[in-house]
Structure formats: C-alpha cells, structure tokens
A and B are shown apart, each in its own frame.
Chain A
Amino acid sequence: MIVFYLLAILSVLSAIVVVVHRSPIYCALALVNTLFLIAVMFVLLDAHMIAFLQVIVYAGAIMVLFLFVIMLLGSPDEPASAERPGLRTVVLAAAVVLAVELGAVVAAKPGGEPMAEPPSYGSTQALAERLFTTHLLSFELTSLLLLVAVVGAVVMARRRA
C-alpha cells in the first residue's frame, strides 16, 4: 500500500511536470517517467506482461520518436507553445469537461467491490486466452487499423520523396 501511494504521488508529480515545464525535452522525459511509473503499478497488480509491453512500446519506442522530433525541430530555448489565447481557452474547457466527467464517475461508484480474481489473471496465458477468444474481433479490428496506418504512412512518404 505504501508503495502504491509513493508511486501514485510520484507519477502525478511527473505528470504535472509534463504540463508545466518550459523545455519540451524535459516535458517528454517527464512523460517517459510517468509511463514507467505506471508500468511499475502494473507490476504491483501482477500484470507483468502489460507492464513490460508498456515500457517497450511507450517508453522505448513512441517516446523516443517524440524526442527525435523535438530534437530535430525545436531549439532548446524556445518555450513549448507560443502565446495563442484561443488554444488556451480550448485546453481549459477540455480540462474542465474531463474533471467533471471524472467527478461524475467517482460519484457514481460503479462496481463497488473489487474483482475477486486469482493472482494469475495478469499472466501471459490468461491475457492471451481473453485476447484470442472473448476479444478476438476487437483485436483483429485493431490490427487492421494499425495496418491501414502503416500503409498510409508509406504512401505519404512515397509521395513526398
């Protein structure tokens, strides 16, 4: 329990750094840190597979691409976003909507009792069984979506070259 609260506080703190820090590189690194801490929470929940997939996919691949783009495009001294009042209003409105939604969900308290699952529910076997039986259709549709995105990226790169 202490570990959980420590992790929770740390990940919220580093999530705040993502939003408020002026240097885009530090924002991206704080996001990596947040993702990593969430992966550790998955480990606490016995979901090792999800935890390491999170590190491999988000921290190891996607965020490296983020850093790549920031390094190639941005100068280090430039603040994250130029002053654009319209953007700020939209972001504030979205934050308020999200806060209200979260509040409503917490107030409604769905579920009540925590699920009584054996500790093996996060194992690779259990995950694979669910994924390829109950959730087979959504799994296949997701992979189709990713395939479309890959083909689209290749087509756009071809046109540019």
Chain B
Amino acid sequence: MDLLIAFAKCLVSLLIVLQVGVILLWVERKGSALIQDRVGANRANIFGGILPFNLGIVNTLMADPVKLFHKEDIVPEGADHFLHWLAPFLALFPLFLTYAVIPFGDVLVIGDTTINLQAVELNVGILFVLAMVSLGVYGVVLGGWASNSRYALLGGVRGSAQMISYEIAMGLALVAVVLTYGTLDLQAIVRAQGDLMWGVIPAWGVFYQPLALVILFIAGMAESKRAPFDLPEAESELIAGFFTEYSGSKQSVFMMADFVEVAIVAALVTTLFFGGWQVPYLYRDGFHFPGGFSIAVPSLLVTVLQVLSFLVKLFLFCWFQILVRWSLPRLRYDQLMDLGWKRLLPYALANLAVSAVLILLLQGWTVRS
C-alpha cells in the first residue's frame, strides 16, 4: 500500500511537469504570435474533415510532438556518437527529478491514511533542487562538444559559463530564504507560509525576502537559457548554439528541457515566495478570515483547492517568464557577465548579510515551523 502511494505520488509529480512542459509549448507559440501580432500555429487541424469545429490547443499539443518525433535523427560526421546520444537525456532527466521534492499540496486524507502531497519527503529539499539543476549543465556542455561543430562548441562553452555564474547568485538568494524559515525542507517552508503577519497578511516569502525573489527569478531565467539570456543558442550568431547539430526527437528533448526548466523556476518561486499550495486564510477545516468570519470546507475540497492554487501560481509564473522572453532583447555577453557577477552576486551577498543580522536582532521576526 505504501509502495503504491509512493508510486502514485511520483507519477502525479511527473505528470504535472510533463503536462506543464507541453502546455507551455502551446502558450509559447500562441503567446509569441500574440505579442508579435501574428496568427501563430494555425496549420494543423486534426479531424478537420470530420469535426465541424477546430480543436485549437489540441492540434498544437498533438501535432507538434508527433511531427518532432517523426523527423530523421541525424548525427553529424566526426561526432562522438555515445555522448551525442547521451547529452539530451543528461539535460532533461535531472530536471524531472527536481520536481520530486516540490510539494504540490498539503495532505490528502482518505479514511485513516494521511498522504503528504510531495513525491519525495526530503529534509534537504532545497539542496536537492540546487544539485539537480547544477547537473543540467552537462547536457549543454556535452551536446556542444560531442557534435563536432564550432557553433555547437561555442554554444556549449557559453552555456556552461552562464549557468555556473548564475548558480552562485541563485544559491545565495536561496540561503537567505533558508535563514528566514530555518529549514531546508520545502514542505516545511510552505507550511510556515500559512501563518499570518499581524493577523492579516499571509506570511509569504515575497514579503520577507523581496530582493531574494528578484535575484532568484533573474538567475533562474538565466539558468533556463532563454531570452534575454539565450546566448548559448543565439540564433543570429550560433544558428541554434549547443543543439545546432541535433534533429528529430533528440532536439525535441532539448526543447522539452527548456520548458521544464521554466516550470522549475516557476515552481521554486511559487514554493518559496508565494506560499506554494497555500490559499490565503484557508486552513485544514475551512476558511478563517481575519474578521473572525469562518466558512467550513470539507477536507477533500480543501486539498483540491490547495492543489489548484499551486497549479494556478505555477502557470502564472511560467506565463510571466514567457512574457519576459518575448519582450526583452538579448543581452550582450559582457552585459550578461556584469549582471551575474557585479550586480546579482553583491546584492545577494548584501541581502544575506542584512537578513542574517536582522534575524539575529529580531529573533521573533523569523517564521519557525
């Protein structure tokens, strides 16, 4: 029974990340069209002759992956076959694993069993996320190197330099958050955000660590290698950067990794700064508003509302990243390094130092679980 529950939880978190990835593909294609005043993906029309209406989103969701997986898989001459094959998987799988520690709900109570809605309960969840995100670099480096192509190599080198640089600022921003909540466990951090500040405002991380939020968001976008940080795949200079020499399903795995990374940044921001699955004023037995007004809600409905709340926040921040990606021009390489090392890093360090001193001075200010 326990094994079955564990399996189901892993399946749910894997499905969440896969679905988010595929839906983002559609949001990206249609959203970019909207921003650039185009119609966007409009060629596919599944069952067009049979159904009287167009299936819309379903067309993109089905036609795009099917098209990508039917293309010929080309390995360039002189490429290292094994590493060329391995790189896309190294880019994608660590990112899938990351989702295992993201809590997508509080607890599901069925009869006597209480299920913690988090695929893997790990007391060092944040470190796990950092470790897995840092392993994603290997896909980029090896993809660039194994292709035996100058463009791909340049993309790979740029990508690894960028990811290592921004990881530091990201880590330091996370340390400030960890200090605030006094735990590395993501579920405990989300639980702590269920409290209220002065009895009114939800104690979400965004109110305690606004600077850390900004740093984490920027560094996270840089980690996902998308515009304005898409130098590793800058199409006007490097064709497609580290995956220039990839085609068919391997190329689509790299594309998927990009979207999954967007989803991970959104999940981290949601979990650490916007209360994760918390709905303001909703507790396990129902709503308790500040004025003393309460509405009782059945436990199952509470769980559903919380999972929905997590998904809505997740999509909101994914959407925001896509908005940024299609709004801002690409940074120059020196601007990229300046932003990482001379702005984000000092700000993150200062934020950490100030937070540490403040927490020491006002011991009661911190939220302890």
Interface residues of A (CB under 8 A from B): 25, 29, 32, 48-49, 52-53, 55-56, 59-61, 64-65, 67-68, 71-72, 76, 123-124
Contact = CB atoms under 8 A, between A and B. Distances in A.
Contacts of B124: 48-49, 52, 124
A53 B137 contact: no
Given A52-B130, A55-B131, A76-B80, A60 B137 contact: yes
Contacts of A59: 131, 134-135
B26 to A, nearest CB: 32
A124 B182 CA distance: 11
Residue from A29, A32, A64, A124 whose CB has the most chain B CB atoms within 10 Å = A64
Contacts of A76: 80, 145, 148
A57 to B, nearest CB: 9
A123 B134 CA distance: 22
Interface residues of B, number: 28
B123 A60 contact: no
A67 B141 contact: yes
Contact of A61 (B141, B144, B156, B164): B164
A56 B153 contact: no
Q: Determine which residue in B83, B127, B145 has the highest number of CB atoms from chain A within 10 A of its CB, and name it.
A: B127
Given A25-B83, A48-B122, A64 B138 contact: yes
Contact of A124 (B123, B157, B171): B123
Interface in B166-223: 167, 171, 184
A45 B288 CA distance: 44
Contact of B184 (A56, A60, A124): A124
Interface in B301-346: none
A71 B153 contact: yes
B161 interface: yes
A50 B293 CA distance: 47
Interface of B: 80, 83, 122-124, 127-128, 130-131, 134-135, 137-138, 141-142, 144-145, 148, 153, 156-157, 160-161, 163-164, 167, 171, 184
* Majority secondary structure of chain A interface residues (helix, strand, loop or mixed): helix
A60 B136 CA distance: 8
Contacts of A55: 131, 134-135
B100 to A, nearest CB: 13
A64 B123 contact: no
A29 B144 CA distance: 15
Given A60-B167, A68-B160, A72-B157, A48 B131 contact: no
Nearest to A120: B123
Contact of A25 (B123, B128, B145, B167): B145
A61 B136 CA distance: 11
Given A65-B164, A71-B145, A56 B157 contact: no
A65 B228 CA distance: 24
A64 B127 contact: no
A71 B156 contact: yes
B161 A68 contact: yes
7 contacts: A55-B131, A59-B135, A64-B138, A65-B164, A67-B138, A68-B161, A124-B124
Given A25-B83, A56-B130, A48 B138 contact: no
Contacts of B123: 48, 123-124
B157 A60 contact: no
Contact of B138 (A32, A56, A124): A32
B140 to A, nearest CB: 10
Contacts of B142: 29, 67
A52 B131 contact: yes
Given A48-B122, A71-B141, A71-B153, A53 B127 contact: yes
Contacts of A48: 122-124, 127
Contact of A71 (B130, B157, B164): B157
Contacts of B156: 71
A52 B131 CA distance: 6
Contacts of A56: 127, 130-131, 134, 171
